Amino acid sequence: MNRTSLKFLVALGFLIAVAAGFLEFLRPGVHLTPEARDLAKADRLAKLGNWEAAGPIFARLERRYRALGDARNQIYAHVSRFGSEEESSNLQDISREMQLTLSKQIVQNDLALKQRCLEIKSHIDLNLDGVSARPSLEALGRIAKQRGDGDAESRASGELGILAFLEGNPSEAKSRVLGALARAIVHRDKGAEIRYLALMGEGLAETQKNDLAIWFLNRALSVSRSDPDAGFPQLVIAGKATALTQMRRFTDSNIVIQEGLSYARSHGYIGFEVDMLAQSGYLSESENRNSEAIEFYRQAADRAAQIRFNRGLAEVNAQLAALYRRAGNLPQAEICEENSMRAHVLMGEVYELPHHLAVQADLQEALGNRDAAEITYSTAERIIGTMLHNSPTASLKKFVVASMSEVYVGHFRLAAHQNDIVKAYDVIEEARGRVASDRLLSPDQDHRSRPDITAGERKLAILQMRLLDTTDSRERHRLSDSLTEFEQQMTPEEESTQNIKDRERPSLVDLQNVLAPNEEVLEYVLGDTESYCLVVTSKGRRLVRLAARKAIEGLAEKHLSAIESKRSAAAEGRDLFSAVVAPLGDLPEGINLIVVPDGTLHRIPFSTLVDGTNHYLIESHSISYAPSSSVLAEIRKESAVSLKAMLAVGNVSYGGGSPREKKWVIFRGLDSLERNALTPLPATGDEIRTVAAALHNLNGVILSGDAATESNFKQEVAKGTSVVHLALHAFSDKAYPERSALVFASGGNGDDGLLQVREIRRLPLSQTSLVTLSACDTSDGPIEGEEGVSSIVYAFLYAGARTAVSSFWMIEDSSTAELMRSFYTEMSHGQPVVVALRTAQLEMLARGAETKAPFYWAAFGAIGDASHGIEGSKP
């Protein structure tokens, strides 16, 4: 064996050892050449993502191997050097050279060398033209598996996950990326751990989940700082800048951006400089310094063009198009949008296409070409339809609809401008309440928990019980991190929705056919430049133009703030009435209004709006709510519930001490998941007995005290029940909506007492006519575009409940018990849900000064179909 071959084997042995993570276990006494030591060091730095430090070593090794006549390792060092040069080189030229290198016989015959070439080429192609990286990544995965390099195989799968996301397949994306992240954590592949934590943080920031994004990004930063060789965390810096800007922490965001710009310019990293200039533009735009933002974006576009950085060109031109559009410079906006579209097409990114098609359609309409705009919107919606088809779980469907809502709102606006009410209705209903609608369109869907989900939730329950029981701040922080990690791993195991039948949603005529003569549907669609209300009755339909989203949501926030301050909120209610109801014209007294809200209107009880006669709207109308018009129509097409059974839960044994030790006024909600915050709710004992007495003709089951456990509740629900009344604590978590929960007594044996949203959705409630959530904030949650609110009450509707009564805010224990007593008394007399709730609220409003503020009487709303009573309840 000659000397060159010997050096090759030693170097290859070290590469395999480093890739497998076994370098520290090599026996002492093995003598290495200087080149082998440097190569091992450079490979470790590259694996950590520190190409800044690895690049010079590879460059030095390339020269050294050339001098030694070692062609194999010269190629290895040469292609590895590109990993540090892609930020400042022409990506197209590098990709072409890599393709030529891969075709060489010496590379084809050497799997380790071929693997390195594929690693570099796939990374270059990801930034150059996106999905063209797929063949390289698939080949990389096969070769890594053949060589037994588990880390490289996992990374290839993770990068294929990124491509799946860009191609519009979020299910595959999440599975692959989470799998790569999980393996990286277990096998201590810190470079991969940093990358995928940062990528998840960036993705969450793009969907406005900023708190969770910061968690992932800080976790990535912590891993990076744990190894001094990890280098500068570029992805983390870019992600944090986005999240901080969106959280309006402008000073903090600017500090992060300047740190990134300084690093990029001092090292000549043009690609990263493009990202940071774009972040500067986004920050300036968020602070309403639009001319400054345009200049930053133009600088970024120029720098991206220098290295054919197509991803950067696509993103920056999109931002420029939006700014020019707002400034009224439509021709320049169209040019920038065309540049962005061209870059996206070159990259093959399906995920971003609907957004850009919507922008393009908006510009086409503004320039007078409405026929072209119609075609463009329809194309965008077909792409979204494919994404939804590839989204097998409820949470993934919600993610797709939430992130694509602007397409449907834009298309609705186009139809409205053409006075095509039927088209406008069909467009918005394709997106609105999509998850609940899909569930209703497939009533035979199996909602039983799969065994693997049950096992996962058992592990989750253990973590949650430990979190509930500890008061140590450090331990709570650690457990919270562990909980977040485990939840992310569990998400792909949600109930599949792929077996949902492909059925058409109810049409506008279908909706009119199920409306009574005394009912009007008010469906709101809020837009950036103008908003609308679609008014539908059994005999007619019309579209009414309203103010822009920002104006309406500002009034809504002021009104809600006044209510939560326990004031009459009359002035604020009058202003909001003038914006969203008065333009509709006269609403005949006694008409039952069914509101389909949008945006912040989801958080507002319309009963508290004040009309021109200075009366609350509830004084002249019954009011209920629906996730969408098609959901309402579908519910009403279902046969009436025939069960005659009632289940009430209350007077739960929480073990948190007496209420006087905690608060003078007792609320049925929690600020955090701590066992010692679970005060008793004394009024709920009488409340559930009152409910049972009022519905005495139904077969009643009461769970109280120690028997009010989550396990017992699930067992009773599985038997079938027409009415469910839950009077207990609730926890609403806007940052992590899947954690929002109703709090039962702890039952032991893995029963944590937390009935969370993910579990509620799988309850068998298709035979349940009414669920009453007599707890705090059960309607509250993050608003996810046209999909609606991610909340506890929407989870019950998804599970099949026909109607749910839930709370808009924190409710007080004793006044809630009084309201519920009146509500169920009216129900026992055969009144429909909406009428019974209105009567109970009016009684409390008329009682006197003590309960006259809307905070006390208006907290509850009926969501779903509230036009029915309870069969068998009338004596």
- Do domains 204-440 and 508-632 share one topology? The answer is no
Read off the pLDDT of each residue in 165-192 and give the average, rounded to a whole number: 80
Q: Is 597 exposed, middle or buried (0-12, 13-18, 19+ CB in 10 A)?
A: buried
**Alpha-carbon distances of 814 from 105, 687, 797, 819, rounded to whole Å:** 82, 9, 27, 9
Residues 6+ apart with CB under 8 A from 818: 844, 851
- In 815-874 the beta strands, taken as DSSP E runs, fall at 860-864
pLDDT at 535: 96
Nearest-angstrom CA–CA distance, 481 and 185: 14
pLDDT at 758: 81
Of the candidate ranges 72-86, 498-512, 637-651, 706-720, the one whose mean pLDDT is the lowest: 498-512
pLDDT at 789: 82
Nearest-angstrom CA–CA distance, 31 and 131: 44
> Taking 50 as the threshold, does the pLDDT of residue 447 lie above it?
no
Q: How confident is the model at residue 478 (pLDDT cuts 50, 70, 90)?
A: low
- The domain spans of the chain are 3-156, 204-440, 508-632, 641-864
Tokens of 701: 């089951």
| Helices 3-20 and 150-166: angle between axes, nearest 10 degrees | 60
Q: What is the CATH number of domain 204-440?
A: 1.25.40.10
pLDDT at 30: 47
Token pair 């253990």: residue: 462
Pairing mode of beta strands 622-625, 699-705? unpaired
Q: How confident is the model at residue 811 (pLDDT cuts 50, 70, 90)?
A: confident
Contact at 8 Å (CB) between 627 and 596? yes
Residue-wise pLDDT for 488-530, tens only, equals 555 444 444 444 455 577 899 999 999 999 999 999 999 988 9
> Taking 70 as the threshold, does the pLDDT of residue 658 lie above it?
no
> Taking 50 as the threshold, does the pLDDT of residue 209 lie above it?
yes
**Highest mean pLDDT, choosing among 160-169, 180-189, 441-450, 548-557:** 548-557
User: What's the number of CA atoms in the CB half-sphere (13 Å) around residue 578?
Assistant: 12
pLDDT at 496: 47
Q: CB 60: neighbour CB atoms within 10 A?
A: 15
Q: How confident is the model at residue 641 (pLDDT cuts 50, 70, 90)?
A: low
Nearest-angstrom CA–CA distance, 620 and 641: 30
Side by side, the strands of the sheet bearing 729-731 are 729-731, 741-743, 754-756
> Taking 60 as the threshold, does the pLDDT of residue 873 lie above it?
no
Residues 6+ apart with CB under 8 A from 240: 201, 214, 217, 221, 253, 256
Q: How confident is the model at residue 766 (pLDDT cuts 50, 70, 90)?
A: confident
pLDDT at 18: 33
Phi, psi of 595 (to 5 degrees): -95, 125
pLDDT at 751: 72
Percent of the residues in the chain that have a pLDDT greater than 70, as a whole number: 81
Q: How confident is the model at residue 24 (pLDDT cuts 50, 70, 90)?
A: very low
Read off the pLDDT of each residue in 265-289 and give the average, rounded to a whole number: 93
Q: Which is it for the CA torsion 321, 325, 327, 332, positive or negative?
A: positive
pLDDT at 732: 78
> Taking 60 as the threshold, does the pLDDT of residue 272 lie above it?
yes
Which of 643 and 17 is assigned the larger pLDDT? 643
pLDDT at 390: 63
pLDDT at 472: 65
Q: How confident is the model at residue 733 (pLDDT cuts 50, 70, 90)?
A: confident
Q: Which CATH number fits domain 641-864: 3.40.50.720, 3.40.50.1460, 3.40.50.2000, 3.40.50.2020?
A: 3.40.50.1460
Q: How confident is the model at residue 21 (pLDDT cuts 50, 70, 90)?
A: very low
Tokens of 771: 């669920």
Residue-wise pLDDT for 452-471, tens only, equals 445 556 555 555 666 666 66
Q: How confident is the model at residue 548 (pLDDT cuts 50, 70, 90)?
A: very high
Read off the pLDDT of each residue in 291-305 and give the average, rounded to a whole number: 94
Nearest-angstrom CA–CA distance, 145 and 560: 57
pLDDT at 265: 93
Residue-wise pLDDT for 665-717, tens only, equals 444 444 455 656 677 788 888 888 988 888 887 888 899 888 988 889 999 99
Q: How confident is the model at residue 169 (pLDDT cuts 50, 70, 90)?
A: low
Enter the DSSP assignment of 781.
S
Of the candidate ranges 21-30, 97-106, 136-145, 255-264, the one whose mean pLDDT is the lowest: 21-30
Which of 404 and 17 is assigned the larger pLDDT? 404
pLDDT at 659: 45
What's the whole-number average pLDDT of the chain?
Answer: 82
> Taking 60 as the threshold, does the pLDDT of residue 28 lie above it?
no
> Taking 60 as the threshold, does the pLDDT of residue 852 lie above it?
yes
Instruction: Write the DSSP string, 647-706.
Output: EEEEEE---S--HHHH-SS-BSB-SS--GGG----THHHHHHHHHHHHTTTSEEEEEEET
For residue 270, give the nearest of 241, 304, 242 by alpha carbon.
Answer: 304
Pairing mode of beta strands 860-864, 741-743? unpaired
User: Is the CATH number 2.40.10 carried by domain 508-632?
Assistant: no
Residue-wise pLDDT for 358-384, tens only, equals 888 888 888 888 998 999 899 888 888
pLDDT at 462: 59
Q: How confident is the model at residue 11 (pLDDT cuts 50, 70, 90)?
A: very low
Read off the pLDDT of each residue in 95-106 and give the average, rounded to a whole number: 90
Which of 478 and 114 is assigned the larger pLDDT? 114
Tokens of 242: 């986005």
pLDDT at 452: 43
Q: How confident is the model at residue 449 (pLDDT cuts 50, 70, 90)?
A: very low
